[in-house]
Structure 1
């Protein structure tokens, strides 16, 4: 797999960035905080979405922006892909849109963040966690894998090499075995239960029971047929008697209905006559009401200003009142407006006077405050000048330190001189370590040779020898030991001398840094003193201006209050005229109310006359209705007399007796038939039950045969599941051991490259992925016992070994993602960085197509094929990227930057 291009929009510190990547080693260079790691995070986020983030989706959107876009183009196994992710902020949530498509060599498309993540996981054969554990060494996590427990490391490596799937299959096979075992036990229990039931039913002689029940059923059925014939004849007799009784009952019913209708008509006639009398009394009362209302009209004529109570007179009077009201209201509105205007003016002027007085007081307070601030500024100037004098005295003392040093070094050169000595000190310390190891080996060879000589054996071949010329070689080893001891002593003396010189320079560097701080602080204090002097002068001028303006405002407030008093007096005069006009308007309203009363009472008289007319019409209608009812009453009485003559009481008594006898018989025969029917039902149920038992017995026998076959099949399936579970477990164990051997091989090859000249010989990796480092003297070490730099380099070696194993595969090479190292040199000194460069070159030799490294180390930059420089604009806080060929880059210029 290879990253081809990454394009960002508003992603973390990037506004717009577009970077193309190629095969080989690419180093991303820039100062701390410039956004180097964000480029790698963007690639990781493009592949796996939110699963690649330690925070939330909202965290990657650039501050102040509402949306973010990330596009990644990459090639995997000869197919080119393009992933596009878009984030948009909506209130308190973030909308995430994502799509994947092939641009060459394939036809895969996916839409949605989840679908794209699953596709990438299947394509690379690793999820986000596996990607981090294999190909992406993030900043600060270089020791994550070695710090993991053996079981945790085992899970990580097993998942990367797809062994977790075999464990999942083994667990599934185990679950299947247990499931089959449960079903088998259940089926065996059911089979035993059916065997017992069959044995019990065979002991019941079901066929003999069936023959006896069928004989009893035939006898009961004959009795039922005989009783049912006799019941039918009794029903015919009852029906004939009932018909006779029904005919007479109908006549009696009709006669009773006629009696009720006659009573109802007579009652209705009486009720209607009562209602006619009520209407007559109401007409008399209404005439009395009319006389009372007409008397009240005469009493209100004077108050209404009317001579006669006619519609024409009322209309003329109302028109005159409307004209008077209009005239009064026009004058009243004008007076009210004037009164309100005068009151508002008085209020506004009084408020304005108060505002002016308040502003005058505020001006006076502000002048007092400014005077105090001017005094404070002048005091601050004195304090700043005193602090400057103290700093100058301290600076003079610090400068004297440089003059007291004999070494030819000044304030500007001291830091560079110290860094130069530190580099030399590191080189000397490395040489001391090399000499110590070489001296130890030489001494061991001399000791071994002396032991062999004491045993009369050749120091070189170990065979017995007398006067062998090879014995002279031990002298050369002894001379080499003496030379190494002398050289080691000189190297240690140089290291001690450098320690002393670096210590003296440390004190001078501190003095130089303090002088820089004093210069900066002095400049700041002088600038602040000048600002405070200017501030004090401007505030003194402002005090005079504000006090003069306060006096002017007080004079203006007094004149405004005098005008307000005049306006309030004019408002009171206008209010008196308003009261007079409101009294005139009330008089008009009283007259209009009296006119309305006269008009309402005239209308009441008309309504009362109409009511009298309506009641007269109702009395006439009720009289006509009663005449019709009397005609119907005569007809009903005639029909009643005719029916009374047709009723035969003797025939009714005979029919009643016959009906009673038939019903008594039917009641008795029904009881007997019910008893016999119940008996027949019992026998039929018993027969059905016996037949059901016989059928159940046959079904049980069939089920027993089927269950026996099922139990046999489950026993065979249980054996197969047990074998399959064991097979998956054995296969996983075998593949893990093969992985351990291959990982140990690749790890030692990488280890030999990194530590070949050190005191370490090899690494062992057991079946549980526990790591042990062996020194050349055979002593075993836990990786945690290594120094910080060695442990970091060891972890990088382990990561690269895992990566190689995944790339080579157990069954052949497999396409893998780029090897990504984010700030791998954090814990490495210069010597270890050189070995990291060798490790990177070795990974290229193993066929890793693309390696991306984030670092500001010059040696790594020098080993790069391409260099990507990241810079951040301090004004906009936005990062930009520049890509260039590393061969034309001046590494020294990058260090200066």
Structure 2
């Protein structure tokens, strides 16, 4: 499995970034805090989602943003897959809005399903990925700091041995479950044996025959009593029928008496209501007379009768709808005319008032602008005066600068260089002085060495030894070598004197050159300052001229605005007078409208009285109809009352009192017998039910006995099957346990060998002989003298290398174990040099080279250490903009050249 491309938008420090990841060793290089680790965290997050985070989704979205995108392309078994995760803010929280995975013939949607697909595809979840291939920043010592039990669980899970323990535990649970079921089944079998024995001891068939005979006797008695009960019920029904007929006749007589009384009362009530209606009709007629008088008075106040002088002669009959409508139309026409005139007058008043107000405002505006222009003219005059003062000051400064420039130029007269060559001259003198000092140091060292040799030769000569070879000599000592040393010392001393004199000359020349450089720099600054002062003088001169012209122009424009303001104010007064005339017209027309409103109210009163009179006449007609209807209904009730009286006389003649008394006697006797027979039948039926229940219980017991025998046969067979199943599960549990132990032993041997090979490669130190990894994953480091050390006793750098070696050995073991069916993910090292010095870093480079040699297709290293650049096939740099606090990635075209440049910088 290999990463191919990662694209980020608003992920941690990356606003927008995209990177292609290639085979070989890729070093992601940059300063601490630049965002290097975030690139690998993005790859890990794309695969496993929130399960790959130590923080929440809120922490991975760039600060200040509401959305983020992470897109990862990776290759697996020759196929390319693409994962896209989109995060979006909802309220105060960030959630996963989109999560999809696409590949050859597969499309997965949803964060949970994508994570499950990746886990199944790579055969490892997020935790296994971290423990196997992803050495995260700060976790390089994770395995060494773990307890042996934790280390055992971690490595067993990576090697899939945890599955065998899971299967063994499942088998153990199954065995315990079978034991529980077997125990329960044995108990059930014993219980069935006890129940069968108890039922066989009871004589169920004899008991059944006895109960059936008793039931037959009880059924015969019940049949006899039920026949007598039926005859008594028939007698009771006949008596009740006679009595019921008598009661119905009596009830009908009572109903007839009530109906007759009610009809009499209703007729009397309706006659009283007819009298009330007659009185109400008289009252309505009197009210109509009053309304006609009021109508005649109201009509006299209108002009319905013609001119105003004839208004009092209008008769009530003349106040009809046509006359009212005609008068209303005349009023409406007059109102429309007045309102049209009023609208025109109001519009004219508003228009004239607005014109007067705007003209006055315009006059005020002209006066304000004129005042502002006069102030501007004064300010311009003041600015022009200031500019002229600056011209005088700058001119004086310019004269002083010219004097200083001339003085500096005089310093270069007779100097070894011209103006502009001082810096080069100083560098040349510095180079000569440096060479002289180097030669002087060499000569002094040679002189010191020669004096040491001379002292040694003189000492040997005094001891009778050869000054050249140091061997003892006979007769007179040899002095040739001592003479050569003395001559060499004399020559070197002369050379040193010459070089010291030359050094003094160069130092003096360097002081002169330095002063010329300072003078040259000062001269350049003065010339630049002179140019600026000349520009300032020219600018001030232009400013003075412009401001005086501006002041003159402003004063002229202010005078023009004063004249315009006077004209506008005169026009405003004219329009204001016209507006007052229009207002008087509006007031007159509004008075006419009020008079029309009063006339219309009088007309409305006439119409209201006319309508009230019509309503009263209609009500009189309704009351007369109501009185007539009540009279007709009372005539019908009197006929119905006569019929009720005749029916009552017929029923009174049909009542037979003797037959009624005989029926009452028969009813009492039948009820007494039925009461007695019911009690006896209840006792017999209860006895029958008891016998029936007992018979049913005996039959049920017989059926249960047969069922218990069948159940016992089934349970006995089940106990036999459970015994066999328990034996098989116990064997399976032992097999899983033995297989896990054997596989762990083999893996431990291989892992120990690979760990020693890797540690020997990265830490070739004679102090350590080997590393031991026992079956419980306990790690021990042995020194050459046989002393056993806990890995925690190693130094920080050695411990970090030890852990890297362990992680790489686990990676190699997994890669060899599943090669060809599930290629391993990239080997990822995030800041592995945190605890390493420069010597240990070089060994880490050797480890990386070894893993590449062993066939790891893709190795990704995040580091700020320049020494790791040398191990890169591909170099990616990460930089953070200090202004925006956003990171960017860039691929170096030639990683080998970058390594050389990094070494040169060191």
Taking structure 1 as the reference length, the TM-score comes to: 0.68
Once the two structures are overlaid, the 10-residue window that deviates more, 594-603 or 46-55, is 46-55
CA positional deviation for 1:793: 1.8
Q: Matches of 2:167 and 2:248 in 1, distance apart? A: 92
- Relative distance call for 1:60 and 1:74 in structure 2 (3 A) is farther
Q: Matches of 1:896 and 1:753 in 2, distance apart? A: 27
Once the two structures are overlaid, the 10-residue window that deviates more, 193-202 or 832-841, is 193-202
Q: Matches of 1:129 and 1:337 in 2, distance apart? A: 86
The correspondence for 2:169, drawn from 168, 171, 176, is 171
CA positional deviation for 1:320: 4.5
1:149 matched residue in structure 2: 147
2:414 matched residue in structure 1: none
- 2:878 and 2:887 in contact (8 A); partners too: no
Q: Matches of 1:349 and 1:95 in 2, distance apart? A: 67
1:50 matched residue in structure 2: 50
Q: Matches of 1:153 and 1:211 in 2, distance apart? A: 79
Q: Matches of 2:635 and 2:683 in 1, distance apart? A: 67
CA positional deviation for 1:91: 4.2
2:88 matched residue in structure 1: 89
The correspondence for 1:752, drawn from 754, 760, 777, is 760
Q: Structure 1 residue 80 and structure 2 residue 79: aligned?
A: yes
Q: Matches of 1:736 and 1:814 in 2, distance apart? A: 21
- Relative distance call for 1:80 and 1:351 in structure 2 (3 A) is same
Once the two structures are overlaid, the 10-residue window that deviates more, 787-796 or 865-874, is 865-874
String of CA shifts for 1:524-546, please: whole Å, max 9, x gaps: xx99xx9xxx9xx9xx99x9999
1:619 matched residue in structure 2: 627
String of CA shifts for 1:666-724, please: whole Å, max 9, x gaps: 23222221222222223323333444455455555655665555556556655655555
1:480 matched residue in structure 2: none
> SS state of the match for residue 679, structure 2?
helix
CA positional deviation for 1:166: 2.4
Q: Matches of 1:207 and 1:778 in 2, distance apart? A: 92
The number of aligned residues is 737
- Relative distance call for 1:118 and 1:596 in structure 2 (3 A) is same
The correspondence for 1:793, drawn from 781, 786, 801, is 801
1:879 matched residue in structure 2: 888
CA positional deviation for 1:798: 1.2
CA positional deviation for 1:334: 6.3
Counting only pairs closer than 5 Å after superposition, residues 371-382 of structure 1 correspond to structure 2 as none
2:503 matched residue in structure 1: none
String of CA shifts for 1:627-680, please: whole Å, max 9, x gaps: 344444444444444444444333333334334333332232222212222222
2:481 matched residue in structure 1: none
- 1:47 and 1:83 in contact (8 A); partners too: no
CA positional deviation for 1:612: 1.2
Q: Structure 1 residue 311 and structure 2 residue 310: aligned?
A: no
- Relative distance call for 1:827 and 1:298 in structure 2 (3 A) is same
String of CA shifts for 1:258-289, please: whole Å, max 9, x gaps: 55554454444434333332322221111011
Counting only pairs closer than 5 Å after superposition, residues 853-872 of structure 1 correspond to structure 2 as 853-855=861-863, 860-868=868-876
Counting only pairs closer than 5 Å after superposition, residues 636-675 of structure 1 correspond to structure 2 as 636-675=644-683
- Relative distance call for 1:188 and 1:564 in structure 2 (3 A) is farther
2:468 matched residue in structure 1: none
Counting only pairs closer than 5 Å after superposition, residues 314-393 of structure 1 correspond to structure 2 as 314-323=324-333, 325-326=335-336, 329=339
1:270 matched residue in structure 2: 268
Query: Cα RMSD over matched residues?
Result: 5.3
- Relative distance call for 1:810 and 1:726 in structure 2 (3 A) is farther
Counting only pairs closer than 5 Å after superposition, residues 471-510 of structure 1 correspond to structure 2 as none
- Relative distance call for 1:311 and 1:100 in structure 2 (3 A) is closer
String of CA shifts for 1:438-464, please: whole Å, max 9, x gaps: xxxxxxxxxxxxxxxxxxxxxxxxxxx
> SS state of the match for residue 775, structure 2?
coil
Q: Matches of 2:587 and 2:327 in 1, distance apart? A: 25
Counting only pairs closer than 5 Å after superposition, residues 480-559 of structure 1 correspond to structure 2 as none
1:19 matched residue in structure 2: 20
> SS state of the match for residue 824, structure 1?
coil
- 2:46 and 2:70 in contact (8 A); partners too: no
- 1:331 and 1:581 in contact (8 A); partners too: yes
CA positional deviation for 1:857: 5.2
CA positional deviation for 1:161: 1.0
Which protein is bigger by CA-based radius of gyration? 2
2:476 matched residue in structure 1: none
1:474 matched residue in structure 2: none
> SS state of the match for residue 273, structure 1?
helix
- Relative distance call for 1:245 and 1:169 in structure 2 (3 A) is same
> SS state of the match for residue 141, structure 1?
coil
Q: Matches of 2:859 and 2:819 in 1, distance apart? A: 24
1:507 matched residue in structure 2: none
CA positional deviation for 1:134: 1.2
- Stretches of structure 2 that go unaligned for 5 or more consecutive residues are 305-310, 387-425, 435-524
Q: Matches of 2:901 and 2:892 in 1, distance apart? A: 16
- 1:739 and 1:810 in contact (8 A); partners too: no
- 1:17 and 1:881 in contact (8 A); partners too: no
- Relative distance call for 1:893 and 1:610 in structure 2 (3 A) is same
- 2:66 and 2:89 in contact (8 A); partners too: no
> SS state of the match for residue 741, structure 1?
helix
Q: Matches of 1:613 and 1:14 in 2, distance apart? A: 94
Once the two structures are overlaid, the 10-residue window that deviates more, 848-857 or 59-68, is 59-68
2:400 matched residue in structure 1: none
Q: Matches of 2:843 and 2:299 in 1, distance apart? A: 128
Q: Matches of 2:145 and 2:582 in 1, distance apart? A: 98
Q: Matches of 2:796 and 2:268 in 1, distance apart? A: 126
The correspondence for 1:766, drawn from 774, 779, 788, is 774
- Stretches of structure 1 that go unaligned for 5 or more consecutive residues are 375-402, 412-522
Q: Matches of 1:697 and 1:69 in 2, distance apart? A: 73
> SS state of the match for residue 80, structure 2?
strand
1:781 matched residue in structure 2: 789
- 1:3 and 1:75 in contact (8 A); partners too: no
Taking structure 2 as the reference length, the TM-score comes to: 0.68
> SS state of the match for residue 850, structure 2?
helix
CA positional deviation for 1:121: 1.5
The correspondence for 1:132, drawn from 125, 130, 133, is 130
Q: Matches of 2:358 and 2:303 in 1, distance apart? A: 47
1:288 matched residue in structure 2: 286
